Amino acid sequence: MQKTNSPYLLVLCLLFFCSCFSNNSTNTVRFGNGQTTFNFSGVEDLYRFLTYSEHRVPLVSAHRGGPDVNYPENALETFQRVAFKMPAIIECDIALTQDSALVLMHDETLDRTTTGKGRVNRHTLAALKELRLLDVTGTATNYRIPTLEEALQWGIGKVIFTLDVKRNVPYQLVVDAVRKTKAEAYTIIITYSADQAAIVHNLAPELMISASIKRVEDLIRLNDRDIPDTRLVAFVGTSQADQALTDLLHQHGILCILGTMGNLDRQAQQNGEHLYAEYIEHGADILSTDRPLEVAKTLDYYIRQRGLSSPFIDY
């Protein structure tokens, strides 16, 4: 779809800017008690929801679950806080313990995010459950390291997960956990190459895959491995993607995830939250961010102004 920079867009962006600073944070609470947000009867509904159309509802993806003061990364309590505020995608990280349990942990070591020390894979699950998670200031909380199964069981109906499978974690174990908890309709597996995407698709052809697509050639490689467009969402990078690429992906029905964590989040923080609306106008469909509450506020206004809705979201 061809986009233009019209005077209407400039006025709309100014309205976004004003709204983001005049509304208080409670205006983002639009989804009941956070117990049910996404209403999928099965994985086919997820495919439909994640297929591009001009009337799609832009979404927030909370990087590492949306950590903040008192809320650690990759913690169920942090996920709940975000899910209460918005229809959210939760991006979280999967590591493997010494006894082959899957837990949510970004780093290879425990030092930065827990009260423990040393490598995750040299501790049993029982030992990890004794630790407490640290928040973004390094302060210990009362929250514990969740297993992947615990997260998936909690999240059904509340969030969509994008699972970042860390090095040396077998995809088969992740697929087994998704199937065991019957979370197929709420799960996307993150991959970083066409080869990884092919492995996941061969193991679980029913699962959605987040694939890194930063050039047309990346999409061609995925198609050459017989991965259907209907199983893909595209991570287009951490800087604004070429609009010709996002237009092509949209023609294939593929939603585009823009990683605003880092530089783009800093630009929005410095220059105005309206920039998040501009990212959507320029082809992004999902914003993966370290500032989910701020992004949700802007997108909430954007959605209401455009009269957007989805039959798969309980408003």
Q: Would the CA dihedral through 208, 211, 216, 222 be positive or negative?
A: negative
| Whether pLDDT at 8 is above 80 | no
Query: Which phi and psi (to 5°) does residue 254 adopt?
Result: -100, 125
| Whether pLDDT at 273 is above 70 | yes
Average pLDDT over residues 9-19: 44
pLDDT given at position 257: 98
Beta carbons within 10 angstroms of residue 248's beta carbon: 15
| Partner residues linked to 207 by β-bridges | none
Classify the phi-psi angles of 65: left when phi > 0, otherwise alpha if psi is within -120 to 50, otherwise beta: left
Decide if 304 contacts 78 (C-beta within 8 A): no
Distance CA(233)–CA(188), nearest Å, equals 9
Distance CA(293)–CA(249), nearest Å, equals 27
Q: Supply 293's token pair.
A: 């509450």
Please name the amino acid found at residue 154: W
Distance CA(10)–CA(166), nearest Å, equals 41
Confidence band of 315 (pLDDT split at 50, 70, 90): confident
pLDDT given at position 275: 97
Nearest CA among 212, 152, 186, 201 for reference residue 50: 186
pLDDT given at position 186: 98
Average pLDDT over residues 277-287: 97
Q: Supply 189's token pair.
A: 């597996």
Widest Cα–Cα separation across the chain: 59
Give the least confident one: 28-37, 56-65, 215-224, 300-309.
Answer: 28-37
| Whether pLDDT at 33 is above 70 | no
Nearest CA among 140, 106, 134 for reference residue 120: 106
| Whether pLDDT at 18 is above 60 | no
pLDDT given at position 310: 96
| Whether pLDDT at 3 is above 80 | no
Confidence band of 286 (pLDDT split at 50, 70, 90): very high
Pairing of strands 208-212, 232-235: parallel
Q: What is the pTM of this model?
A: 0.90
Pairing of strands 88-96, 102-104: antiparallel
Confidence band of 222 (pLDDT split at 50, 70, 90): very high
pLDDT given at position 235: 98
| Whether pLDDT at 284 is above 60 | yes
The domain made up of 51-92+159-306 has a fold known as TIM Barrel (3.20.20)
230 vs 18, more confident: 230
Distance CA(183)–CA(207), nearest Å, equals 10
| Partner residues linked to 119 by β-bridges | 109
Q: 3-class DSSP state for residue 112?
A: coil
pLDDT given at position 36: 65
Please calculate the CA angle 232-183-107 and round it to the nearest 5 degrees.
75
Average pLDDT over residues 162-178: 97
Mean pLDDT for the chain overall? 91
| Partner residues linked to 147 by β-bridges | 103
The half-sphere exposure of 73 on its side-chain side, counting CA atoms within 13 A, is 21
Average pLDDT over residues 233-243: 94
314 vs 132, more confident: 132
Q: 3-class DSSP state for residue 242?
A: coil
Decide if 187 contacts 163 (C-beta within 8 A): yes
Decide if 71 contacts 81 (C-beta within 8 A): yes
Decide if 24 contacts 302 (C-beta within 8 A): no
| Whether pLDDT at 21 is above 70 | no
Spell out the domain ranges in the chain. 51-92+159-306
Confidence band of 35 (pLDDT split at 50, 70, 90): low
Average pLDDT over residues 208-225: 98
Distance CA(120)–CA(309), nearest Å, equals 42
Helix axes 194-203, 171-180, angle to 10 degrees: 40
pLDDT given at position 14: 42
| Whether pLDDT at 251 is above 50 | yes
| Whether pLDDT at 30 is above 60 | no
